[in-house]
Amino acid sequence: MSTMTDVSEQWRPVVGFEEFYEVSDHGRVRSRDRVVIIRNAHARKVPAHILPLTPNGKSGRVRVNLCHHGLEAGRDVHLLILEAFRGPRPEGAKARYLNGQSGDNRLDNLIWEIK
């Protein structure tokens, strides 16, 4: 008889957006609870939520849009995960999907590879 183990999802801050977003070892991105100031100095609470991922053309990679102080920036999810969990990209390194599936952004499928 086999037993199923409960695997916890681990979350880390997104490098450069630490106060606003987190990535998980399961390949997801979420915003954090926060208050934003909008026009006329009104404050609005933004609840935490999982962000939608957008396919990046024929490559199969996925991107996410992050917003910081009113500026929006598209980022590749696999790079956010590697930076958060494995550290900065080593000089000359490229991100590699171990199983060859560029849409599979689980941490255990991603490495920095130096060629």
Q: Is the pLDDT of residue 48 over 80?
A: yes
Domain residues for the domain of 15 are: 11-114
The model carries a pTM of 0.85
What would the pLDDT profile of 23-37 be if each residue is shown by its tens digit?
Answer: 999 999 999 998 877
Decide if 54 is inside a domain. yes
Decide if 6 is inside a domain. no
Decide if 48 is inside a domain. yes
CATH classification of the domain holding 30: 3.90.75.20
What would the pLDDT profile of 52-81 be if each residue is shown by its tens digit?
Answer: 999 887 788 999 999 877 778 899 999 999
Decide if 81 is inside a domain. yes
Tell me how many domains the chain contains: 1
Decide if 4 is inside a domain. no
Distance set, CA 76 to CA 41, 79, 91, 107 (Å): 32, 6, 18, 14
| pLDDT for 37 | 76
Q: Is the pLDDT of residue 2 over 70?
A: no
Decide if 85 is inside a domain. yes
